[in-house]
Chains A and B, each alone.
Chain A
Amino acid sequence: MTARPTLPLLPLIASALVALDARAETLLLQNAILHPITGPEIPSGHLLVRDGRIVTVGTGTSTPTADTTIDLKGHHVFPGLIAPTTVLGLQEIDAVRATRDTTESGEYTPDVYSWKAVNPDSELIPVARANGYTHAQPIPIGGIVGGQSAAMTLTGWTIEDMAFRQDVGLHVNWPGFGLDTTPKERAANKDSWKSPEDQIKAREKRLRQIDDFFTEAEAYAKAKAANGPGFAVIPAWEAVLPVVRKEVPLFLHANEQRQIRSAIEWAARRQYRAVLAGGRDAWRLADLLATHKVPVVYEHVFTETLRDTEPYDVHFTAPSVLAKAGVEVSFSEGTDRFGASNVRNIPYAAAQARAFGLPVLEAHRGLTLYPARVLGIADRVGTLEPGKDATFFVVDGDILDLRAHVERMWIAGREVSLESRHTRLYDRYRQRPRK
């Protein structure tokens, strides 16, 4: 692997976008190991691109001609990777409050839209791109009904350039079921201490409130359709309409098994489209999730075991358990303080799941096709198929391999730069005269 020839790099300029507009032209990548994701890899294939879209994905035999042809000499081509839940673009430096736009105040804020706060010039975005990420879904992480997420293209001059799909879904942080059993005398904050009974009461009240909230949203939808006299637009209810009309999914954030069961059964009762995000214990409920066809955004491959009866590899094997049951698993680093800076490492969560039993194609799909489906953008990205966006990257090994280097990337037919703050500092200090 180390002996692989490196590809000639295009001359790079400071902007993320290469100045030359490649859209009008045809581009042919040949002699590549293609990962169409729809099926197994094509050991030596070609990819023809026209007007920013993939025209053909072929085996090597009958090669078309193109304005530009690049011989990939056995390097791999993957569709662009997609980070399904992240705070990339919303958070720059975790410890500096001024750079955090992740968490709104309030409990019911469905009309908060993440794409409006993405910083196109975040230094973190090029770093994610440099390891194959072309799209990400920044999500609002506060509240109970926290707000709307969007699919962002990880390149562009403005948020409007980047907003690939503004209305991906609505985020709900499901109430936790774990009881805090700390005795009052030892509680950090005695004023807010609650007995287990009171905690259960509070949780049940909250669950009722959530249910009521969506009943009211449905009532609003009916009123709006009736458009009777006195109907007034309420922005918060407007924001929930796509969910009650089942046009977009609810992202139910839940980790603990009782919490997951409650959330999934509730969504099924209401027949809403649901995505489970977080999903630490999802493997314990794999059949339930499969029955209701709920995909999982799994954020916990590297979470340490919590129960002292669980084997050390419980979260390494969780995606494989889910996949065996027929659940589509996407991989995420979550939204904690490393959630934005570690997007580039999401492939290694998939790799760990693969090492612990997940088939390699499922691992690849968990980085591409499945998150594309979760985000409702699989018609354009997530696989290498004719008609889809020419959004892909070249790498000198499997993207699951920690040693592999991403070499070139195209988004919708345009080649984008893989330069970042990291490569710039690397180049600069590599040239520091030796002392």
Chain B
Amino acid sequence: MRGVGWIVGILVLSGMGQAAEPLQPPGFRPTPPGVHALVGARVYTQPGSVFSNATVVIRDGRIAAVGTEITPPPDARVWNLAGQTVYAGFIDPYLSLSRTNRPVTIGMDEDTSGTGRQARATDGGGGYRFFGVTGQEADPGQTGPGANLNAVTPERRTSQSWSPSTKDLEDLRELGLTAGNIVPTHGIIRGQSAVATLGEDSPGTSLLSLDPTRGTAQHIAFEVPGGEGVFPNSLMGTIAAIRQAYWDARWWGEAQAAFLKNPQSAARPPVNPALEALQLSLGSQPIMVEPGGGLMAERARHLAQELGWSPHLIVVASGGEWRRPDLIEPSRNAYIVPLDFPALPKFPKDEGWEDVDLDLLRSWDWAPENPAVLRRAGATIALTTHGLGDRKEFRKNLIAALDRGLSPTDALAALTTIPAQFCQLGSLLGTLEAGKIANLTVCDSKGYFDPDGKVLSVWIQGRPYVVTPPEDAAEKKEAKPKTDAATTKAPTEKTDASGKEQKDAARKQELRDLARKRVAESPLAGRGVLTNPPALLIRGATIWTCGPQGILTNASLLVRNGRIEQVGTVESTGPVHEIDARGLHVTPGLLDAHSHSMIVGGVNEGSLPSSAMVRIGDVVNSETPNIHQQLAGGLTIANLLHGSANPIGGQNQVIKLRSGASPEGLKFTNAPGGIKFALGENVKQANWGDKFTTRFPQTRMGVPTFIGNRFTAAQQYAATWKAWRDGGQKGVAPRRNLELDAIVEILEGTRLIHCHSYRQDEILAFLRLMESFGVRVATLQHILEGYKVADEIARHGAGASAFADWWAYKYEVIDAIPYAGALMQDRGVVVSFNSDSSDHARRLNFEAAKGMKYGGMSREAALNLVTLNPAKQLRVDRWVGSLEPGKDADLVVWSGDPLDSSSVCLQTWIEGRQYFSRSRESERAAALQRERDGLLAKARRLSGDGGSDGASPGAREKFFRRALEQARHLGVENCQDCLLPRNP
């Protein structure tokens, strides 16, 4: 199309109402004429479509015509833009102006001193109310009707407070921005954004909307607001709050409709602007979600499906999408991409680099490539200045992104057409076409996507705003030599200076080339399935079947299609991958019935005494190195449990350690759902410090009272639902309560209880309470005094998932003995040994051996403590836990007897695929070491040569901002029972 004569018919603007502005009274500067013709420029009408020497006609704030064969109208002021480049005005779809530019990061290292987010009512969405929860009584939160949580404010609209400072606007225009979607910046369900142009018009004139009844989008952030003891204080709690709010909204919508239909007979739902506002995003209002990490972006997509969100889901990229490009779903693929890249730190001494590990270096090296990664994965992307500590770095970082594979055409689209489309203003913004708002970004001849290109001016609603005064633009060309001439005298020196200049330029180019070349590898490299043979034959091994066959010597085992086909003597087979296992031992993959190792964003929603609504399944961490470490110890299945901070904890998730799989891919879908309960010191906050003395319960008396209360509430809740269903589902369905839903599932026998318990009195009281509700407890966890009431536990039918030999770390374990497992087993309890620790989970076979040391179990019984017995307890023994035909081929090859402390795990297989091989470990570690060395060399070179000079402090600090899923140092995955707050 380029060069072809082309013209857009001059639109007749009659009927658009907009004539010249009213006459100003004397004294004011008179209104300038509203008709302009910009001639001679190179014009990008839309991405991929460029015209040289084109004319843009602007009339009364709109584009009247664009083309190469247009004669400027006689009434136009003509602007000669020869040698300049004109784009459709740039749009930031996620402009965060108030407070700071802080992106969502969910981590326990966040400041948690937040205040003032309390329940303000009892009939709103997202919240729960329990007695004595810190702050809940003391702080009434906000006034007026709304959601229960101060972090849930969907009714807020940024348009209501849009009154920007001139300085803010100037800074944005300097970047070439002409419009922005002003987003709310704090809370979980934050409210609705509004698009505004960035000129100096009145707020009302600058706001752009095709539907004044609603904002551009509803904004949801997976933020953990923090605040001691205030719900939610974990990532899974945040997700639960979102979920409850939307269920409440659905209920409220139906109830309100029914009420309006029959005001005199229908039940009247409470007035609730929050739930009313959420109706929009249950319809067609887009949702912009800031998930804070790649894994949580996937979670957001699941939530959208589950909660019936608007089909327009737009995700704010976390910057870490390069970690798992496979999670960038092509079907739901809209991303707003911040360019807040980290900058290299300055260490006062070189030894400081010792504190920089591979993951931080990878994050730094990958960051500029992230936009290109998203594009390659098929995502539609818009760019934003959000997240930048200093917005001035936007251009520099954009250039870095272009250097790393983002095409200028994609970048232009990401600044114009895509954000316009995300904001549903494609008819008014995003391209240079007649009828659109006259927003333009004007650069010099080099254009916006050249590192030396300058933004000269922007046009907003037909008014020009100069960014770089023409004299400056011209002067700068000659500025350098002038300065040099002024400061240098001898001509020889002058030659040196220009030589130096050349050298500087060459060095600058060299550094740019160095930065351009990625050294970092994908974290997916070297992870995942090592071998995936169609069939696997293990020959000559000592096989601990953990099944009726017992221990077989010199035996074979055949695996096909991920299942065990034959054990013992194997008939002829066909092509197989064969392992000569003479002298080696083979056992089922080990199971850990109590783990917190693969959880992101907090293990406890410890704010409330019941957090039955939170789900570990929402926050499974597929990226933690714990998976590899534990595979290396023969572990194949972990029961990820909520912590023990409250009597009724959260829902657990059983996973298989399929290293490299996504969070969903880790889930062991055959495992029935469960929930964590807890008794004793932790739930009565005995060791939490003096501030925590009000939440009910504070004693072992109160614990069963509390639990009984919730079960009774659940019974009544279930009865309400039953009545509605039995009545032919007439009228509005009862309001869903996600806390009680989980407890109803317990009552119905579809959700297993795993109860952290210590003392014999509390154990018995709990068992009897559950029996009174007709519930059988699946496992008693830790169960340190279980040996004292073993007969009662056996008769009840609960399993015991115990520590092998932990004791003396708190008062309620004063009677813990390592013989407990043997004693309970002897009286008929199914006993397993668990880890509750990312360390012990690496050596559960040795924990099992303690069953022989203390109490004299047989070796078969001892190994069953970490294989078949936990499988029974988790109700997955039909598929795993023993090596029997038909079961999953989850198995471990050991160098010797697995209970002998001189043996090591050699290979770990899950469903017939190899995930760990000891023989490949040194090669793996060496590759990582090489990669770090290479990255360090690059970083040192760039840092030493000034390649990161001029970076903002914010960008340098960002270097140390660890990705949520890599935050191992937070300690949340370690022994949960030991890490509760300690009385100082």
Partner-B contacts on A (CB < 8 A): 2, 92-97, 123-124, 127, 177-179, 181-183, 185-188, 196-197, 200, 257-258, 302-305, 307-313, 337-338, 340-341, 344-345, 348, 351-352, 354-356, 400-405, 421-423, 425-426, 429-430, 432, 434-435
Contact = CB atoms under 8 A, between A and B. Distances in A.
Nearest to B929: A309
Contact of A435 (B358, B792, B846): B792
B928 A309 contact: yes
B853 A404 contact: yes
18 contacts: A2-B858, A92-B808, A94-B978, A185-B957, A200-B349, A257-B354, A307-B358, A308-B357, A309-B932, A312-B628, A312-B842, A313-B921, A354-B901, A402-B850, A423-B819, A426-B855, A429-B823, A432-B791
B346 to A, nearest CB: 8
B806 to A, nearest CB: 8
Given A304-B838, A351-B901, A94 B810 contact: yes
Nearest to A354: B902
Given A304-B839, A434-B791, A181 B345 contact: yes
B928 A258 contact: no
B809 A311 contact: no
Contacts of B839: 302-304
A338 B904 contact: no
B404 interface: no
Contact of B348 (A92, A200, A311, A434): A200
B875 interface: no
B823 A337 contact: no
A422 B817 contact: yes
A119 to B, nearest CB: 13
A403 B899 CA distance: 8
Which residue, B348, B855, B922, has most C-beta atoms of chain A within 10 A?
A: B348
A355 B903 contact: yes
A197 B960 CA distance: 16
B817 A426 contact: yes
Given A313-B921, A355-B902, A426-B819, 4 more contacts: A92-B808, A196-B348, A344-B805, A434-B791
Given A258-B354, A312-B632, A405 B853 contact: yes
Contact of A258 (B351, B788, B855): B351
Nearest to A426: B819
B109 interface: yes
Contact of B960 (A177, A182, A307): A182
B818 interface: yes
A430 B810 contact: no
A148 B192 CA distance: 64
B925 interface: yes
Interface residues of B, number: 76
Contacts of B904: 355-356
Interface string B71-113: 0000000000000000000000000000000000000011110
Contacts of B513: none
B928 A308 contact: yes
Contacts of A338: 806, 809, 978
The 6 closest A-B pairs by CB, nearest first: A95-B810, A183-B957, A351-B901, A341-B808, A311-B925, A402-B849
A310 B359 CA distance: 12
Which residue, B355, B843, B856, B859, has most C-beta atoms of chain A within 10 A?
A: B355
Contacts of A435: 791-792, 795
B347 interface: yes
B982 interface: yes
A352 B901 contact: yes
Contacts of A340: 808
Which residue, B110, B628, B817, B842, has most C-beta atoms of chain A within 10 A?
A: B817
A277 B345 CA distance: 32
Given A182-B960, A403-B853, A430-B823, A309 B925 contact: yes
B629 A93 contact: no
Interface string B357-378: 1110000000000000000000
B900 interface: yes
Contacts of A96: 810-811
B901 A401 contact: yes
Contacts of A95: 681, 687, 809-811, 982-983
B817 A197 contact: no
B352 interface: yes
Contacts of A186: 109-111, 961
Contact of A425 (B790, B810, B815): B815
B348 A94 contact: no
B251 interface: no
Interface in B19-48: none
A181 B364 CA distance: 15
Nearest to B838: A304
A2 B818 CA distance: 18
Nearest to B345: A181
B577 interface: no
Interface in B903-961: 903-904, 921-922, 924-925, 928-929, 931-932, 957, 959-961
A340 to B, nearest CB: 7
B849 A403 contact: yes
Contacts of A432: 788, 791
A127 B816 CA distance: 12
B852 interface: yes
Contacts of A313: 632, 921
B677 to A, nearest CB: 21
B826 to A, nearest CB: 8
A363 B900 CA distance: 15
Given A402-B850, A422-B817, A182 B109 contact: yes
Contacts of B849: 402-403
A85 to B, nearest CB: 18
Contact of A304 (B347, B629, B792, B983): B629
Which residue, A124, A308, A341, has most C-beta atoms of chain B within 10 A?
A: A308
Contact of A400 (B858, B901, B922): B901
Contacts of B982: 95
